Amino acid sequence: MRVIQNLKAIPKVQKFRYGMILLASLSLLGPLAFLPQLVGNDDLCGQLCMRRFYLYFPGMTWDDFFVHVNSATIGVMAFAIILITTLFFGRIWCGYLCPVGGLAELSSRMLNDRWKIEFRSLPQIQIRYGYFGFYLVAMPALGISACSLCNFITIPRLIEAMSGEYRGMIYLVSSVGLVNLALLLLLGVFASKGRAYCQFLCPIGAADSIVNRIGARLPFAHRIRVAKERCTGCNICARNCMCGAIKMVDKIAVVDQMSCMSCHECVDVCDWNALAWTAPPKHKHNSPKRIKKNTEIFPLPDWQAIHIHPVKEEAGRVLPQISGVSIFNAMVLLTVISVIIVGSFL
Amino acid sequence: MVRSFLLLFLLLLNYSAEANPRYSDPDGCLSCHAYEGLNFIDENGVFRSATIDGDHYASSLHGSVPCKDCHRKVIDYPHKVENTEVDCGASCHIEEPSEGVKYSHDVIHEEMDKSVHADGWYKGLTGGNRLEELETEQDPSCRRCHSNTAYIAEMQLEKFKEAFDHAETECGNCHQGKAWMGQFGGHILRRFVGRRWNNIENNQLCIQCHGDIDAMRDVKQEDVKTLEKHPPSERFIQSSESYTKTLHGRLIDANSDFGASCIDCHAPDGWKHEIRAYTDEKSASHPDNLAESCGQSNCHAYSKKPGNEGFTMTDMHSLSLLGLSSMEKPLTDTDLWQSNWFRSAWPLMIAGIVFAIGSLIWWFFYRTDKKIIAILGGDRFERVMIGRKPKKARAKAAARKSRVPKAAVTAPEIAATTPATINQDAATTEVEKTPKKSDDSEA
């Protein structure tokens, strides 16, 4: 009975979101794999691969790039569609459709919180783009196949293995499969809210969040926005945010558009309507809702997507919140760690 | 009358056209060799047939070539068996019209001579129908791979026909004359149409021998520098088995154009016969030359570029691939107990037991607790994302708070001025403060 109560307590939008993830999983993953089979695939590799074509091999030319694009035509088109929808509506693919991150999230949400590891407070932008740089440049240069650390092959193979197919079992028996399984468990199932893999290691997510951040300034872009004057600092949104995108700065919720997936959960849990998934407001800043007998009544909410709050100051100079040096440091560190991991099974 | 005569003439013409063989036997060899049952037992005790099926020969690759062009030592009848030996390196009947040079297989022989299979070629053996070589000889002769097959491979026939129809207009514009169009045209076209075998057939040729693991164990490998013979390595013995497990082999099995066949990597250049040991510095599969071999056109083009040295480090004949051999019943195979999977399953199992026992303990003792913190990083989350003070500072603040009301209560001047009422007030505030303090520490 408690299970039913808990299910009923899920906000309406989140129910829709979980349903969308399940639907996408059914149509993209085995045993049905309905969409991949339209092009004769039963997994998300080959023509459907979205994560390989932008790798940089030292000395490669544009011709090589177009060879890569040609061999993964549908993946490239899907990637372009994802980026375009992100520009307008936020990271809809990541939050509402992606079966790989979605399944990890759903299985994590079914697990009790006491077993979770809290990854959300780590400096995720540095780690994400450090790994992204490693993935784009260092991995091809070191001769490591980018497919050896890919979640888009792990989840389909895992489902195949569970249905008893030999290819999936043999993948999981291999050392590459074991490393990927460990990453899936640590950063997916046993991570708080289950989105740590998406936040740290997913290259699609990394490219997507750049677009999300760039688009946040555009006048038509739907994003999760905060009305500062309504926020009471109750921090329930920050606790529920699965991406760790909301941070309490001076007791006001601040959304990091580099990490936000527009999953809408913060809007559902906020009692004060201080967050909303909207386009920027048309009215001027702090303009009153109506003026009655020269009295301003209740200013309209000023939906803000980006909050500039410089935290570091050095000799009167305002430093950016995230420096390129820190990203480079993370990249070097991650390269060393990954070489050790990958080297152990070469 | 005239009409019936014409009909008869046409019939005769038709008959004569059909009766003409593709090539008349000018030396009269077939007058004996056409007989069925022309058998003998040779010096090795092998039962041999000397019968030549005329139709079968005429439709073969060398169907238009007279017997004596190759069997040169046979001059008169009767001839000795030893004189029938054929040298594939000798010059042929075909003459290149522009230069007048006779065609020869010698270029291929020269290339073959550099390869690991070099001992397979020597005069006398290669042309003959030597059945015993299959059992005794380690190196393949020409005939082992090139039996007297049809001149145009079946897979190319349609393509060849199409090219042949246009040959007169396209090639014939420049290369006029009977020598070009009549005799040489077909030979050139055969070359233009492309390779005789597809990748699957190429691999079958290699795997015919190299797939026989027991036979490969008996092979004597030759050291490139010292020329010493030594028994083969396990990697060599299992080479075809490990190849079929790689993506290269599996793509070709799936009839894809993207797979790499054996000779694509081992003899990529020239006439595809120069297969050297990978320890040989001139070998295409030598580690120094791998970048060039992998970077052939349409393959891994950027492996040649600096900075991609790691690309060629993948072992395409790794023995670890053999573990994938039992695809039918992978989990009943006893070998799996020694595999990494079961070794790495131990920590997984221990973690699973901790997980199960911990869950039980939580279920029995703590399930009514409302407050659940993550096992790792929960405090950091509170500090960084929520903006609360660290745990120690919070505990200190709580302790300070609990001290403050006590000090207020024991203040001597308050006790002195209003003894009864204020003391009561202080007592109530203390009662109020204590639950609030515990609230703070819990929240």
* Residue with the two structure tokens 């390869």: B115
B443 touches A at CB < 8 Å: no
Q: Provide the pLDDT for residue B273.
A: 87
Contact A220, A279 (CB under 8 A): yes
Which residue in A115, A181, A184, A234 has the most chain B C-beta atoms within 10 A of its own C-beta, making it the best mutation to test that interface?
A: A115
Q: Residue type at B33? A: H
Of A58, A114, A175, the CB nearest to B305: A58
* Cα–Cα distance for residue pair B204/B216, rounded to 1 Å: 16
Nearest of A176, A11, A29 to residue A101 by alpha carbon: A29
Contact A152, A25 (CB under 8 A): no
Q: Provide the pLDDT for residue B93.
A: 66
For residue B326, pLDDT over 60 is answered with: no
Backbone angles phi, psi at B12, to 5 degrees: -60, -45
The verdict on a CB contact (< 8 Å) between A59 and B378 is: no
Q: Residue type at B279? A: T
* Cα–Cα distance for residue pair A335/A344, rounded to 1 Å: 14
Residues in chain B: 443
Mean pLDDT of A125-148: 82
The verdict on a CB contact (< 8 Å) between B301 and A235 is: no
> 3-state class of B32 per DSSP?
helix
For residue B67, pLDDT over 80 is answered with: yes
Q: Provide the pLDDT for residue A260.
A: 93
B368/A317: higher pLDDT: B368
Q: If you average pLDDT over each of A85-89, A155-159, B271-275, B342-346, which comes out highest?
A: A85-89
Rounded to the nearest 10°, the torsion over CA B144, B145, B148, B154 is 150
Contact B176, B210 (CB under 8 A): no
| Exposed / middle / buried, residue B302 (Cβ in 10 Å: 0-12, 13-18, 19+) | buried
B309 touches A at CB < 8 Å: yes
Please confirm whether the linkage preceding A31 is cis (ω < 30° from 0): yes
Mean pLDDT of B174-185: 73
Residue A227: strand pairing partners: A303
Of B302, B330, B385, the CB nearest to A170: B330
Nearest of A234, A225, A307, A295 to residue A267 by alpha carbon: A225
The verdict on a CB contact (< 8 Å) between A248 and B387 is: yes
Q: What is the pLDDT of residues A215-228, one digit of tens each?
A: 998 989 999 999 88
* Cα–Cα distance for residue pair A153/A181, rounded to 1 Å: 11
Rounded to the nearest 10°, the torsion over CA A314, A318, A324, A329 is 30
Sign of torsion, CA A338 A339 A341 A342?
positive
Domain ranges for chain B: 219-329, 378-442
For residue B259, pLDDT over 60 is answered with: yes
Sign of torsion, CA B385 B389 B394 B400?
negative
Domain ranges for chain A: 2-214+330-344, 220-309
Q: Residue type at A119? A: F
Q: How far is CA A332 from the centre of its chain?
A: 22
Nearest of A333, A147, A144, A135 to residue B308 by alpha carbon: A144
Residues in chain A: 346
Sign of torsion, CA B285 B290 B292 B297?
positive
Give the pLDDT band (50/70/90) at residue A276: very high
Q: Provide the pLDDT for residue A318.
A: 58
The verdict on a CB contact (< 8 Å) between A172 and B305 is: no
Q: Provide the pLDDT for residue A31.
A: 78
Give the pLDDT band (50/70/90) at residue B225: confident
B45/A176: higher pLDDT: A176
The set of residues, in sequence order, having a beta carbon less than 8 Å from that of A337 and lying 6+ positions away, is none
Cα B233 to Cα A296, B221, B239, B274, B312, distances in angstroms: 90, 9, 10, 21, 21
What is the pLDDT of chain B when averaged over all its residues?
75
Number of H helices and E strands in chain A, helices first, is 16, 9
For residue B211, pLDDT over 70 is answered with: yes
What residues 43-72 of chain A have any CB closer than 8 A to a CB of chain B?
57-60, 63-64, 67
* Cα–Cα distance for residue pair A157/A145, rounded to 1 Å: 17
Percentage of residues in chain B having pLDDT higher than 70: 72
Q: Residue type at A298? A: F
Q: Provide the pLDDT for residue B339.
A: 61
Residue B118 has what DSSP assignment?
A: G
CATH code of domain A220-309: 3.30.70.20
Sign of torsion, CA B428 B431 B433 B436?
negative
Biggest alpha carbon distance in chain A? Answer: 78
Q: How far is A289 from chain B (nearest CA, A)?
A: 32
> 3-state class of B28 per DSSP?
coil
Cα A81 to Cα A87, A92, A93, distances in angstroms: 10, 11, 9
Cβ contacts (< 8 Å) between A175 and chain B: which residues? 340
Of the given ranges (A133-142, B66-75, B325-334), which has the lowest mean pLDDT? B325-334
Q: Provide the pLDDT for residue B127.
A: 45
Give the pLDDT band (50/70/90) at residue B112: confident
**C-beta neighbour count of A216 within 10 angstroms:** 22
* Residue with the two structure tokens 């869950």: B359
Of the given ranges (A2-6, A82-86, A315-319), which has the lowest mean pLDDT? A315-319
Contact A107, A188 (CB under 8 A): yes
Of the given ranges (A242-246, A274-278, B8-12), which has the lowest mean pLDDT? B8-12
Give the pLDDT band (50/70/90) at residue A61: confident
Of A121, A143, A250, the CB nearest to B380: A121
Q: Residue type at B83? A: N
Q: Provide the pLDDT for residue B141.
A: 76
* Cα–Cα distance for residue pair B350/B108, rounded to 1 Å: 63
Give the pLDDT band (50/70/90) at residue A325: confident
* Cα–Cα distance for residue pair A64/A70, rounded to 1 Å: 10
Percentage of residues in chain A having pLDDT higher than 70: 90
For residue B393, pLDDT over 90 is answered with: no
> 3-state class of B47 per DSSP?
strand
Q: Provide the pLDDT for residue A189.
A: 92
Q: Provide the pLDDT for residue B436.
A: 42
* Cα–Cα distance for residue pair A166/B331, rounded to 1 Å: 9
Q: How far is CA A215 from the centre of its chain?
A: 16
For residue B272, pLDDT over 60 is answered with: yes
Inter-chain Cβ pairs, chain A and chain B, closer than 8 A: 110
The verdict on a CB contact (< 8 Å) between A117 and B330 is: no
Give the pLDDT band (50/70/90) at residue A1: confident
B61/A4: higher pLDDT: A4
Percentage of residues in chain B having pLDDT higher than 90: 3
The set of residues, in sequence order, having a beta carbon less than 8 Å from that of A214 and lying 6+ positions away, is A87
HSE on the CB side for B323, CA within 13 Å?
18
For residue B23, pLDDT over 80 is answered with: no
The set of residues, in sequence order, having a beta carbon less than 8 Å from that of A101 and lying 6+ positions away, is A94, A151, A188, A194, A195, A197, A198, A202, A205
* Cα–Cα distance for residue pair B199/B259, rounded to 1 Å: 8
> 3-state class of A81 per DSSP?
helix
Contact A189, A112 (CB under 8 A): no
The set of residues, in sequence order, having a beta carbon less than 8 Å from that of B149 and lying 6+ positions away, is B60, B61, B196
* Residue with the two structure tokens 């030292």: A58
Q: Provide the pLDDT for residue B257.
A: 79
B339 touches A at CB < 8 Å: yes
Give the pLDDT band (50/70/90) at residue B422: very low
Give the pLDDT band (50/70/90) at residue B250: confident
The set of residues, in sequence order, having a beta carbon less than 8 Å from that of A207 and lying 6+ positions away, is A54, A79, A83, A132
What residues 340-379 of chain B have any CB closer than 8 A to a CB of chain A?
340-341, 344, 355, 358-359, 362, 372-378
A85/B97: higher pLDDT: A85
Angle of CA points B372, B375, B380, to nearest 5°: 90
* Cα–Cα distance for residue pair B358/B252, rounded to 1 Å: 51
Q: Provide the pLDDT for residue A95.
A: 94
Backbone angles phi, psi at B205, to 5 degrees: -60, -45
Q: If you average pLDDT over each of A42-51, A231-240, B120-129, which comes out highest?
A: A231-240
